């Protein structure tokens, strides 16, 4: 992990890791308990250039929940387990595959937890990951945590400053299209398109979940994927995009995760 000692870039490490486990994206994240803010330290996305990545989304809050700042370093948390738990709690909310978030799996590795901040590695898969790739991640987890804890001082601070100067995945060209157009320019799945439409009608996450007989967590996972595809960072921004005349989307690009 030469990047942790200043010998290479964090994105290069994430790129190698994504390639090794056949993933689609990786986020290096820092959660600040004092400000309740999550910051991107670094990111690599194999879909960069195929779909909008100006506002990449992390599933960290959905997956970690109340354990965000108390998780044990080296522990691994899975999006699929969160959804399964929600389904068990809402036995009448089992939906079809099209009612699932467009992303198939997201894994969170806790790298370090401190008094007021915690660091995480997130790996995202658009399609269902192979078991041996998941096993490989678990084998590597101990080494990744050890290397992170032994990193050169101020390494993360340097990366954070650099990420603010050079926003991750900002597209160089855009064209104006209508977000909820029948051509579906953002590459939303049917479930995501439906959630957008209901949100645009003034429904809250709770009402949408009740209407679709799904858990609120599942609806929020849909929103996470929608944010990633549209460039919105919150529901207010998403509503603004849907009610604006046009929205900028990378030309001719749709998400590889569309179902």
Could you read off the pLDDT of 18-59 as tens digits, one per residue?
999 999 889 999 998 888 888 888 888 876 533 333 346 788
Low-confidence ranges of the chain (pLDDT < 50): 3-7, 49-55, 92-101, 165-177, 245-259
Query: What count of other Cβ atoms lies within 10 Å of the Cβ of residue 6?
Result: 12
Q: Which two tokens stand for residue 147?
A: 């290397």
Q: What is the pLDDT of residues 26-36, one digit of tens each?
A: 999 999 888 88
Per-residue pLDDT, 56: 60
CA distances from 96 to 53, 234, 253 (A): 27, 26, 26
DSSP string, 188-225: --HHHHHHHHHHHTT--HHHHHHHHT--HHHHHHHHHH
Query: What count of other Cβ atoms lies within 10 Å of the Cβ of residue 202?
Result: 8
Q: Is 144 helix (H, G, I), strand (E, B) or coil?
A: helix
Give 128's DSSP letter: P
149: Cβ–Cβ under 8 A, 6 or more apart, which residues? Answer: 73, 111, 112
Per-residue pLDDT, 36: 84
- Distance, CA of 89 to CA of 215 (rounded, Å): 8
Per-residue pLDDT, 87: 63
DSSP string, 47-73: TBTTB--SS----HHHHHGGGTTTPPT
Residues 254, 187 contacting (CB under 8 angstroms): yes
- Distance, CA of 107 to CA of 222 (rounded, Å): 17
DSSP H or E segment with residue 17: helix 10-21
- Distance, CA of 65 to CA of 167 (rounded, Å): 27
């Amino acid at each position: 992990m030469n990047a942790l000692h200043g010998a290479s870039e964090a994105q290069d490490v994430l790129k190698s890791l994504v390639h090794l486990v056949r993933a689609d994206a990786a986020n290096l994240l820092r959660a600040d308990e004092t400000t309740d803010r999550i910051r991107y330290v670094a990111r690599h996305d194999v879909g960069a250039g195929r779909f909008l990545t100006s506002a990449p989304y992390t599933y960290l809050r959905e997956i970690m929940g109340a354990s965000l700042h108390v998780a044990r370093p080296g522990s691994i948390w899975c999006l699929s387990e969160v959804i399964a738990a929600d389904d068990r709690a809402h036995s009448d909310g089992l939906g079809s595959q099209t009612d699932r978030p467009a992303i198939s799996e997201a894994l969170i590795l806790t790298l370090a937890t401190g008094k007021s901040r915690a660091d995480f590695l997130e790996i995202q898969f658009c399609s269902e990951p192979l078991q041996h790739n998941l096993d490989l991640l678990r084998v590597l987890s101990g080494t990744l945590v050890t290397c992170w804890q032994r990193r050169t001082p101020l390494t993360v601070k340097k990366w954070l400053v650099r990420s603010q100067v050079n926003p991750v995945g900002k597209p160089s060209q855009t064209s104006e299209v209508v977000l909820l157009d029948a051509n579906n320019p953002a590459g939303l799945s049917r479930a995501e398109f439906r959630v957008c439409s209901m949100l645009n009608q003034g429904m809250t996450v709770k009402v949408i979940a009740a209407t679709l007989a799904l858990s609120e967590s599942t609806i929020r996972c849909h929103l996470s994927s929608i944010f990633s595809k549209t460039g919105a960072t919150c529901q207010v921004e998403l509503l603004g995009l849907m009610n604006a005349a046009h929205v900028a989307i990378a030309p001719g690009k749709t998400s590889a995760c569309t179902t």
